[in-house]
Chains A and B, each alone.
Chain A
């Protein structure tokens, strides 16, 4: 919230960090690290998103309720994806009729 005015230097720093992370994610995508590629891609994206939320969106300086709102939306998104996948990862595709 506006009670806390963050210096413009912080914004610039965050911007540069975001650019650097974008370069990293593109560089990593150019090499084959197997499963690790997805991990890095998601890790970098989550880091970037966290930076934007904390600094550009001022979540770091917001009241606790704001954190609760962000957390609960993420938790419910996680529930959606996790319980969805319980049905998908445990089965062959397309479904096989033969067990014996």
Chain B
């Protein structure tokens, strides 16, 4: 329902766009928009998770073998980092809601920092698997699917060697897409921090902070599923 609560003060709020009746309506619309976007994201990752489910059902052993080649310690560390960034994000939104702009800036910068740590670790993890594939060498330990994939280092041969490539295809696609979401999120967070620093947000109007928070938490949730599904298959 269109909300007609046109508070005299809000009607002239500088952030109120012309086509909305009130700030309340504007906030409700923006929040709903973000949630619908997240619903879209769920189905976007859902296609990958669907493929993952099918192949894990078909090739449980290859998935287990592939998983044992990832370091659960690194995954564990990154999970903690990302959960931490979710906490700082939530605190950022909280600070905006109680009108502490300086704290908003601090918390968002902390979120970006933690996101950077996560991506740095990811870069290292990827490098380990990709580096052996480069150049003309024997490609020992190369874990990128394709002609150079080194199934021997996983002690696999025959069809299993193919199946484990599917595992690594999914690994790269899922974590890569997740990392891409973080890379997209970072500049948005930075923009929000800039506006917070300029004092644009107040307890009445801080919808952008809330929205980027929703996005960031969603990215965190994706990782919450990726960690056990990719790093912790079978018995470690």
Contacts and interface: CB of A to CB of B under 8 A. Distances in A.
Contact of A29 (B38, B50, B235): B235
Given A1-B27, A66-B31, A88 B57 contact: yes
Interface string A62-90: 11011001101110110011001100110
Contacts of B203: 2
A31 B235 CA distance: 6
A85 B62 CA distance: 19
Contacts, number: 137
B228 A45 contact: yes
Contacts of B38: 69-70, 73
A6 B34 CA distance: 20
B58 interface: yes
Interface string B53-66: 11001100000000
Contacts of A2: 27, 96-97, 203, 206-207, 210
Contact of B86 (A31, A52, A58, A76): A52
B76 A22 contact: yes
Contacts of B72: 26, 29
A69 B43 CA distance: 12
B90 A88 contact: no
Given A52-B221, A70-B35, A84-B50, A19 B83 contact: yes
A57 B217 contact: yes
A52 B224 contact: yes
Contacts of B83: 15, 18-19, 22
A69 B39 contact: yes
Interface string B215-236: 0011011001101110010111
A12 B46 CA distance: 30
A92 B218 CA distance: 37
Contact of B232 (A8, A15, A26, A56): A26
A45 B229 CA distance: 9
Given A15-B84, A26-B72, A73 B235 contact: no
Nearest to A1: B31
A66 B42 contact: no
13 contacts: A12-B87, A19-B83, A22-B76, A29-B235, A56-B89, A58-B210, A66-B31, A69-B36, A69-B38, A74-B42, A81-B50, A88-B54, A88-B58
